[in-house]
Structure 1
Amino acid sequence: MDRYAHSLQPALRLGVDFGTGTLVIGITGQDGKGYRTLEFPGWSREMPGTGAGGPVHAVPVLVHYDEEGNRTIGNEVVRAGDSDHPRTARWIRKYLLEESPVRIPAGPDRRITFRDAATDFLTAVLTRAIREYPGCSSVVFAIPKDVPEWYTGWLGSIADAAGIRSWHTLAEPAAVVAGYGLSPEAGQGYLIIRWDETDFSASFILSEGASDQCPAGGPRVTGTACDDTGCKAIDGWIAQDVLARNHMMHRGPKTQRIHDKITGRIGELYSQLAAADEAIIGIEDPLSGTTFPARLSRDDVGRILTEHGFLSVFDRTIGRARAAAISRGCKEVLPVAVIMTGQGCAIPAVEDLIKKQFEGVPVLSDHPLDAVARGAALFLPHASRTDRIKNDYALRYWDSKSREHRFRFLVRSGALYPSAGQVARITISAAYDGQTRLGIPLFEISNSADAQAPALELVSDPAGGIRLAIPPGDAGTGSRPLLANERTPTLLAADPPALKGEPRFELTFTLDREKQLRVTARDLVTGMLVKKDAPVHRLT
């Protein structure tokens, strides 16, 4: 039965593109019509749309904390001139995905991580979205490639905190393809060019069969490459060029202030260039009070990009992405289309440059600012979900009698998610006296058709020797069991230390709607609940 059909299906859906520089949220009706981006007065800024679309409302991904720890968000930070302040978190997604250890001052004697700042930012915006658009009860988050294992569950916790009843995820390449209204056939290849504030990237994708991440032929990334020449670089190049043409290239605090004024208003120049061949804004000299014109034409942008070697960056990045795809066994195939997304791709001169580089190949550039949010908003989760787990998952333990590893299954292939209740309940004991940390080693056992024979495994013998063993009978006959949560191990702290063989923790496991296995753990000695619905691993 379709859990999302009829009365359970929300009237309005949100699609969220949490980007490096901006957050764009698209909204659409139940029938997929009436798409637009959400405006948040004070927080968002209006950017001109391209093609047949209307304006795009984007919230700058900025959070500023004052000395008392109070927050300002988005365009409030820009207007206050605090974008580069030490207490401002910016380029949050980039540092979040890199799991940066850097901490930001956020009030008296308080420093926070980028994950904390991202939580503050997204929770505030989504809560406001639900408050101002009460018909929205479902959200789809676009997920970039190679995110940490905790990322999806973290987004879900933010959706829950904002009061959103139903949330789902969609791979970012699939969102881009859907955002441009494409229905790719299996075997077709595309090149996605993304240019945001901090990076320029190229990704070759190949359309495959339907998947739970994209019902109409899921695009798979075959090769990708990235360069750190982001939009901020071109903003600086343009500011330098304007200063040079106004004979103001001497160095000093005054020139730097004027340079910053130009880069702070660069978006106005881009907006004018979207409708005309030349743009002009007035820049005030902070010392003399006089105003001088900052002119920029489409040809100027092309010239500036060429002078600073962007063409070689472009060719080198695409070449690396192509080489990565070929190294993975993908044949070199001319892409059916080049798809442009990101703030840099909204610059007309950039579009002209890319079209010259790919003559004879369609270059799609109608939705560079909101393709991801548009595709996520139009995504229908119920159209593709099977609601079943594909592989087996088990905890591995050492059987001292048989002197080999055995497996205690938690989730079997074909299990429904979310689970109606507990999927497993077990008790674990310490392996030695004085043990203070007990782990939950989750193993994935694939049931794919190309993995028929059990694999040999090295097993430690208590006497100090090593012997070969095959996975025991209760491990099934699938492929080699692989440790699933190696990157994010789940540990339980025993205080006081545990005794060997003494039942110490009672664990109950559940499956949420995003296939996340969660554990609740109780210390049987102290009676304390040490974990409550903590994420262990996202299953497949």
Structure 2
Amino acid sequence: MGRFWAFDLGTTNSALAVWNEERAEPEMVALPEISRETILTETPILPSCVFLYHGQTWGDRLGRLPAIERRWLLGRQAYIGNVALEMNYDGRSPNYVESFKPMLARESTRVMSRVDGRAFNARGIARIFLREALRAVQEHRHERIRDLTVTVPVDSFETYRAELREIAGQLGIRRFQTLDEPVAAALGYGLNTEREMTLLVMDFGGGTLDLAVVRTTGPGEAGTPAEVIAKQGLELGGNNVDVWLLEHFARSLGIEPRIWRGTEWYQALLDEAQRLKEQLYAQEKATLMLSDRIMVELGLRGKERPTLSREGLVELLASSGLYRDLELALERLLHEVAAKGIGKEDIDEVLICGGSSLLPEVHAVFEREFGRPRLRDWLPFEAVAYGACVFAAGHKVQDYIRHDYALLTFDRETKKQEYPVIIPRGTIYPTAGAIWEDYFTPTCPRGEPANEFELRIFELGRAATAQREIGYDENGRLRVLERGDSLPNTICLNETDPTLGRLRPPHPPERRDARLKISFGINGDRYLTATVHDLLASQLLMDNQPVVKLR
């Protein structure tokens, strides 16, 4: 049996991952030419589109025979992914098909394209897309996939899973499994789904916004299907934003937006709008980089290439109703679960998935509702594929901490800020007692006696995968975490209330010896717990007391 592979089949983009036995972790797979990298995280994703091709070489003809296809992937039946997008440069080719996933789930026999007298239904398009992805793996990585897990929407019917299973069998997959997307996301974010949990999953992709509250049923297997408690969905995604941007720039150039539709350059313009949008996820300003030829063809010779600020994008999204629609969908979802006796406080984790979750101020909507500690947001592109790969490999997921946590201290001589790590990433919880202990001297601001002691707890973000990871600073702004950065992204978790207790008697500034003995552990609810001894007063100030919730 070969390695364990996982496929996150999306409406607009898909992702492929493989289990790395040596490192005992999943890794994303890039397929040359047909994959594209996301601008921020450099994550390889595969656009879910097909450009049908009816080749006439002996390999093409032989490869279309079912008996041959189960054993060998000969010839080409379509171009997929990035190449398919490029071949449909004018957006009007009948050979080009996208958004076949929803149709496969609802009406698999619906004809989606007719080419050279042949009709192609959703089932056939899905088979061709998956076939060409498998063929690309075979060509570039010299491996035939025989073990594959594909993620499916949590509310999909068994017929959808059966369609995928039938396609996998036709393509020679010997061990095929499906996994609910929310369960996969939970595994990808490092959650132990053998425990019973109530999760809110937000998947905001290119074509749709899906919100669901699900409950993992545990105890049992890690891939046990989730129970759907409530869900909301909108036909709203990054593709809509690309069109809004294109129309905005057309108006700014004094052009009626409809004039651009159906032109030879329309798809190229949309692609450039997408690139600009992704740059503004983390940058303050971006320019629509149109080639000189396009500028001339569109009658824009001599004009400045338009630019847009991050604030301008926020205004555009607000005026287009994106934030209103998102907040209303979330409000309806919470109202629906409240009617079933589940309050907002009963939701254990909020899982953020999909590239459009990186749009400015989208993250803030969920942070305001649920608070930062409940958000799992650093793997929007990878979580589902990673989780499916973990499940495929049968890897045991333990409850562990995903980031480093540190105290803010000051060097006694230089007065520079330091962040000694008290809880390293990978720590399994709950811990058996304290796992870190040290002695501290209270700070005395302005040279006055200290009546209280403060501890500022920081989450440190560093990329831990081959891709760059993302994080959010204390102001909710998106930051890119480079692998191996010496300076991490730091977020104070208790900035508004760092005071943990009072000192009696107050600590005088002239005393430089240690006053407090502090130890930390983690309880079963993922709270950092502190035990504090006042050495001068011989008092126990805190005894395994929760301080902040970790992620």
Please, what TM-score do these two structures have when normalized by structure 2?
A: 0.60
The alpha carbon displacement at 1:366 in A equals 1.4
The alpha carbon displacement at 1:15 in A equals 1.3
Letter in 1 for 2:184: A
Q: 1:297 to 1:180 in 2, by over 3 A?
A: farther
1:16 has 2:7 as partner? yes
1:129 has 2:120 as partner? no
1:239 has 2:246 as partner? yes
The alpha carbon displacement at 1:90 in A equals 0.6
The alpha carbon displacement at 1:260 in A equals 4.7
Report if the CA contact (8 A) 1:65-1:105 is conserved.
no
2:47 to 47, 60, 72: 60
Structure 2 partner of 1:103: 111
Structure 1 partner of 2:377: 365
SS in 2 for 1:97: helix
The alpha carbon displacement at 1:16 in A equals 0.8
Report if the CA contact (8 A) 1:89-1:114 is conserved.
no
Q: 1:292 to 1:158 in 2, by over 3 A?
A: farther
Letter in 1 for 2:299: S
- Could you tell me how far apart the structure 2 residues matched to 1:382 and 1:162 are? 23
Report if the CA contact (8 A) 2:43-2:381 is conserved.
yes
Please, what TM-score do these two structures have when normalized by structure 1?
A: 0.61
Report if the CA contact (8 A) 1:22-1:59 is conserved.
yes
The alpha carbon displacement at 1:33 in A equals 3.1
The percent of aligned pairs where both chains have the same amino acid is 21
Q: 1:296 to 1:353 in 2, by over 3 A?
A: farther
Structure 2 partner of 1:294: 306
Structure 2 partner of 1:27: 18
Structure 2 partner of 1:172: 181
RMSD: 3.1
Deviations 1:130-172 (A, max 9, x none): 4524285422211212323233233234334444332222211
- Could you tell me how far apart the structure 2 residues matched to 1:129 and 1:82 are? 29
Worse overlay, 94-103 or 306-315: 94-103
The alpha carbon displacement at 1:107 in A equals 2.8
The alpha carbon displacement at 1:45 in A equals 1.0
Worse overlay, 202-211 or 153-162: 153-162
- Could you tell me how far apart the structure 2 residues matched to 1:353 and 1:318 are? 9
SS in 1 for 2:326: helix
Q: 1:355 to 1:85 in 2, by over 3 A?
A: farther
Letter in 1 for 2:187: A
Q: 1:146 to 1:251 in 2, by over 3 A?
A: closer
Letter in 1 for 2:31: F
Deviations 1:64-94 (A, max 9, x none): 2258796222111211216553332211101
- Could you tell me how far apart the structure 2 residues matched to 1:158 and 1:251 are? 40
Q: 1:262 to 1:101 in 2, by over 3 A?
A: same
- Could you tell me how far apart the structure 2 residues matched to 1:201 and 1:42 are? 30
Size of the aligned set, in residue pairs, is 369
Letter in 1 for 2:104: L
- Could you tell me how far apart the structure 2 residues matched to 1:246 and 1:297 are? 16
Report if the CA contact (8 A) 2:12-2:47 is conserved.
yes
2:34 to 10, 30, 43: 43
Q: 1:86 to 1:380 in 2, by over 3 A?
A: closer
The alpha carbon displacement at 1:307 in A equals 0.8
1:197 has 2:232 as partner? no
SS in 1 for 2:352: strand
Structure 1 partner of 2:101: 93
Letter in 2 for 1:223: A
- Could you tell me how far apart the structure 1 residues matched to 2:306 and 2:367 are? 27
SS in 1 for 2:184: helix
- Could you tell me how far apart the structure 2 residues matched to 1:144 and 1:100 are? 16
Structure 2 partner of 1:311: 323
Report if the CA contact (8 A) 1:197-1:343 is conserved.
yes
SS in 2 for 1:167: strand
The alpha carbon displacement at 1:17 in A equals 0.2
Deviations 1:352-388 (A, max 9, x none): 454345445543221111211111111156569xxxx
Structure 1 segment 76-91 matched on structure 2, within 5 A: 76-80=83-87, 81=89, 83-91=91-99
SS in 1 for 2:31: coil
Q: 1:222 to 1:130 in 2, by over 3 A?
A: farther
The alpha carbon displacement at 1:57 in A equals 1.2
Q: Which runs of 5+ in 1 are unaligned?
A: 1-7, 385-540
Report if the CA contact (8 A) 1:87-1:104 is conserved.
no
SS in 1 for 2:306: strand
Structure 2 partner of 1:424: none
The alpha carbon displacement at 1:129 in A equals 2.0
Letter in 1 for 2:84: V
